[in-house]
Structure 1
């Protein structure tokens, strides 16, 4: 497997960064690499907001064998304090971090890193608490190779609107950089405003989260432009059926994916041709991974039987900093799903998000999809709140698509779509929902919103 430096040398003189100075990238990476190799593999926090400097710093740090922690430049003071206490970095690359320097470090020192040449990628999950999945150049490259083999590609050209510190943006860079492909970085807000760039879209992949796709489809010109892409990868959060149907109607070559930070992006993807035929699954398992569906007793289940998803892959993270996983090639996730007779994986929802109301199991994604299909909400999230009679009550926190839409209108609209026990007993209208840039909801904040708006 080639090293970051070998790939950097290959790209020298190649004008592959569209709209940017590829030579500047190479120069920055080489200069920083020479500086870092004079140190004793310092722990690095990478919080660079400028994309070219970010990827140049990333390549230099990995090439120099430094443990590097990818950071969101927009974290607030409290989040930075949490990260600094955990990591205790030697070097911070990028913008200055605002925090209380006197309380910067925890009194309990952590080891430098349990894994040599480690790449720590942030993952907050639904709780919002920051932790870092431990990857290496090898685990990321295993993901790249599985992706290229699945799509039968020599080069991967990527139009990136997702953050580079997140696995979704980082892996787009990795695919293009190591395959000899073109790479274009554009803030999503600029794209939404109409800055599309002069590229041959049919030669490019673009990755979106469902809320981004929804917003682009609302603009006929952008929807038409999106339909020209070779593939539109969709992940980061569950997509609702109405959104998939809208994309299919626009003839967009959508590829719904299933993956996570811990697996270095997707381990299953539906090919666009299958999507356009009406398939709404997350597609086939990629060559570098294996998925089994298991019972609570860890028994492997047959096709079409719903159970707990267990993943084996050579792109799996080695742990959460500073601890490693006991088995670094098998990972049981919180998701529930099944594999159908075509070998496609179908995701039902998260086991931890399951609501048990009156003894019945309810998965929020099903209810959210039914309510979205009414067209009466702009966004929605379903959670369970404690209740002395039902155990939990199904609660809908939503943004109405029109201020004149009231609870009774929504209740009437879903009467024939959901069983009675699945229908929300509480409805809370809000102006915004606490989603991050990948479209994932912060359940901790959502619980606070629900409790604040629940009648005493």
Structure 2
């Protein structure tokens, strides 16, 4: 079904919490008329959607999809360097929405707002097919890319979600950014299944707690958000009432999951990414509360296999995670190229029951003294000491060990030192897995989804190391 097909039914249902659903429909009609006027003049511009208001963002998005225009979703909060990167890659014909957010920060860039459309740019820029929906992803590197989706790939993800959770109508309480796949898919699940949608900035979540019956809603959180809500008894009690609390965006640590179980949160840890239109494996809440800790079964619209080089592996054999899915993106803009199979950098295994276990990223793996160490395991052990507010682990090059394990951490209080952390960790990890360097910082470079920017993290560690003369081989 096409996007506009759902609009009359949803408008009659008054589905959009905190907003007049008829007003939303009027906005879609208004924005669609703008696009039709452009099409009538023979133009098919690439749209860079820049809209901080969530309702107007969604109305523009539905209009663009209905008109079959190629649309690039963007983060209105990007800074100058990020806008330069995006504009160089996309070379949009039209910045649709608040163009001033871009053009004012880049005065040398031509005005490509609606009132001054310059379609000649398309002759020198990458081509974009009609119907492409480009969703930004920064991964762990911080370099912005756009995964090429279509209405069909996004709908495949919605249908897989419906089947897996055995629900026809999906109500969503959204605190995640709509330009990101995690927020966008919450909107699409509700909009296309006749569900209700409440959109609330995470900072304002306490103000909106009484507005809905949580028992009828799904809410999606990243681990750092869950941690913050569990620290407050009022918000943790509120979370217990949700039908399901989806958790994704970044790996969760064991201590956080145990606290969630203690509060009887109906948590559903998920595994997915922008390239797969969000989750492709999910642990159901009843399994989570039964003390299971993995990523659950694969959703109906996807298939996961584990490979070692060019050989598929059997149950409980560790290898590279490979995905086939109806929701799989076509590739990264400007070139489709994924085909039917997407080989990930993540390492994991499927057990006898077909449950997915993720060990870590191959590129993040640290090889120290010939031993393989995964940061996720070391980070979990450090968090379990309850001495840090946050931590990220990486490997730094070293002439003696190949790499040395380095922990960049935020201490919980001023009494926490590297020595106290070493002592607290001594009986939790084998010696070769324990960090040689400990770097005390005020904050870690995480994005809105909780993912660490690995390039920035490495730069923090390199800069710190440059101030020291200690040889880790002597420690």
- Determine the C-alpha separation between the residues in 1 that align with 2:217 and 2:338: 39
The farther-off stretch of 236-245 and 94-103 is 94-103
**Where is the helix percentage greater, Structure 1 or Structure 2?**
2
Match in the other structure for 1:272: 285
Match in the other structure for 1:358: 369
Match in the other structure for 1:441: 452
Give the C-alpha shift of residue 14 in structure 1.
Answer: 2.3
Q: Are the equivalent residues in 2 in contact too, given 1:194–1:222 (CA < 8 A)?
A: no
Aligned with 1:186 (options 200, 223, 228): 200
Q: Does 1:302 align with 2:314?
A: yes
Match in the other structure for 1:36: 35
Encode CA deviations 1:54-110: one digit per residue, 9 max, x unaligned: 000000011011100000000001111111111111221222213334356999933
Alpha-carbon distance change, 107 to 267 in structure 1, aligned in 2, over 3 angstroms: closer
- Determine the C-alpha separation between the residues in 2 that align with 1:367 and 1:237: 15
Alpha-carbon distance change, 112 to 99 in structure 1, aligned in 2, over 3 angstroms: farther
- Determine the C-alpha separation between the residues in 1 that align with 2:430 and 2:130: 53
Q: List gaps (5 residues or longer) in structure 2.
A: 113-120, 470-475
Q: Are the equivalent residues in 2 in contact too, given 1:41–1:65 (CA < 8 A)?
A: no
| Secondary structure of 1:437 counterpart | coil
- Determine the C-alpha separation between the residues in 2 that align with 1:368 and 1:5: 46
- Determine the C-alpha separation between the residues in 2 that align with 1:167 and 1:348: 23
Normalization by structure 1: what TM-score? 0.97
Q: Does 1:341 align with 2:352?
A: yes
Give the C-alpha shift of residue 453 in structure 1.
Answer: 1.2
Normalization by structure 2: what TM-score? 0.93
Q: List gaps (5 residues or longer) in structure 1.
A: none
Aligned with 2:68 (options 51, 65, 70): 65
Equivalenced residues, count: 451
Aligned with 2:388 (options 377, 397, 410): 377
Alpha-carbon distance change, 55 to 103 in structure 1, aligned in 2, over 3 angstroms: closer
Match in the other structure for 2:169: 155
| Secondary structure of 1:13 counterpart | helix
Q: Are the equivalent residues in 1 in contact too, given 2:93–2:122 (CA < 8 A)?
A: no
Match in the other structure for 1:132: 146
Match in the other structure for 2:4: 5
| Secondary structure of 2:459 counterpart | helix
Q: Are the equivalent residues in 2 in contact too, given 1:81–1:99 (CA < 8 A)?
A: no
The farther-off stretch of 318-327 and 228-237 is 318-327
Match in the other structure for 1:421: 432
Q: Does 1:99 align with 2:105?
A: yes
- Determine the C-alpha separation between the residues in 2 that align with 1:171 and 1:41: 26
Encode CA deviations 1:135-163: one digit per residue, 9 max, x unaligned: 00000000000000000111000000000
Match in the other structure for 1:407: 418
RMSD: 1.5
Give the C-alpha shift of residue 340 in structure 1.
Answer: 1.0
Q: Does 1:397 align with 2:413?
A: no
Match in the other structure for 1:282: 295
Q: Are the equivalent residues in 1 in contact too, given 2:32–2:63 (CA < 8 A)?
A: yes
- Determine the C-alpha separation between the residues in 1 that align with 2:322 and 2:19: 41
